Chains A and B, each alone.
Chain A
Amino acid sequence: MGTLNAVTTWLASLPWGLYLLAAGATLALAVAEVVSVFERDPTRALFTWGSVLLLLLNVALAVLILTLVRSLWAGGNSPWVALAVGLGLPTLVRTRFTVLKPLPGMADSQGVDIRLDELYERLQRFCRSRIDLALASQRVQLVEQAMERLDLADLERRLRLLLEGGLLLTDEKARQYADKIMNAEGYTEERKRMLLSFAILDYGGHRMLGEMLKAAKAKPPA
């Protein structure tokens, strides 16, 4: 309790500490939002412009709201208020405020809304689309490298290991996929390499294909 009081007093004496607290809390929630959507590639997703924009915007909003609270209310200089602003921001930006609600019975009795929720959703959609595009670009780039540097036999072996070797829980369709690619009529070796690379990337992950590329680079020429 004593420590808590000391921390509270210290934080209260430093306005930037309050801002840091509010920004940190809202940042943690925004990071959790991104990570929960891009479960398969959270780190890469976080280091995209779309993510950075979303995180910065959340922090800026938290700082703005805390400044408003502190200037309007003397009791706003508390770490608890800062924490509440940081944690409450996601709720606030998903709220629709009705500023004016005409009396019932009028021809147009719809209220005047400030649709913060819609604005925030649009912004989230924009950021999500930026993240998706950035991640897709990275995936295509990795597959291009794999097509250039990896042997068809190595790619086939790895995909078979993934889909037929019991590393993944797969059905009959999955177990026949490597055969389907390898026996596809009219497919050039390059096209097979492309499909195999995309399949390894999808079922084995970015890391697996990246490690195959590293191993191929380290391998001395035959």
Chain B
Amino acid sequence: MAENLSTLRELEDSLSAEEKELLKVLGQVGAATPVELAVKTFSLPEEINTPLLSLKEKKLIDVKPVPGRLGSELLVLSKQGLHLAKGE
């Protein structure tokens, strides 16, 4: 438990301001496509591409294909991402 907490803290410290904002927004809306996240943060999709990929690499977000919409992906917080977004 304590190990998990320290890993979470380390992860949190490694996040950039953009990554933190995206986590927070995703925590508020529950799930969104990358372009919707861009709109929610008043950004262009390419501006949030790098932080989103980084969050995916850190396993803080999960990516799911949207059924019936080829090429569309839905981003949701992973369990760890949820903890960080909630600030636990």
Contact = CB atoms under 8 A, between A and B. Distances in A.
Interface string B41-80: 0101100000000000000000010111100101010000
Interface of A: 37, 128-129, 132-134, 136-137, 139-141, 173-174, 176-177, 180-181, 184, 194-195, 198-199, 202
A140 B69 contact: yes
B35 A198 contact: yes
Interface of B is mostly: mixed
A140 B67 CA distance: 11
Interface of B: 30-33, 35-36, 38-40, 42, 44-45, 64, 66-69, 72, 74, 76
Contacts of A128: 30
B74 to A, nearest CB: 5
Given A194-B35, A198-B36, A199-B39, A132 B76 contact: yes
Contact of B66 (A37, A140, A202): A140
Interface of A is mostly: helix
B64 A129 contact: yes
Q: Considering the complex of A and B, which 7 residue pairs feature the smallest CB-CB distances, nearest first?
A: A132-B31, A177-B42, A173-B42, A140-B69, A199-B39, A136-B74, A198-B39
20 contacts: A128-B30, A129-B64, A132-B30, A133-B64, A133-B66, A133-B67, A136-B31, A136-B72, A137-B66, A137-B69, A140-B66, A140-B69, A140-B72, A177-B42, A180-B42, A195-B39, A198-B35, A198-B36, A199-B39, A202-B40
Nearest to B40: A202
Given A129-B31, A136-B31, 6 more contacts: A128-B30, A132-B31, A132-B74, A139-B36, A176-B42, A198-B35
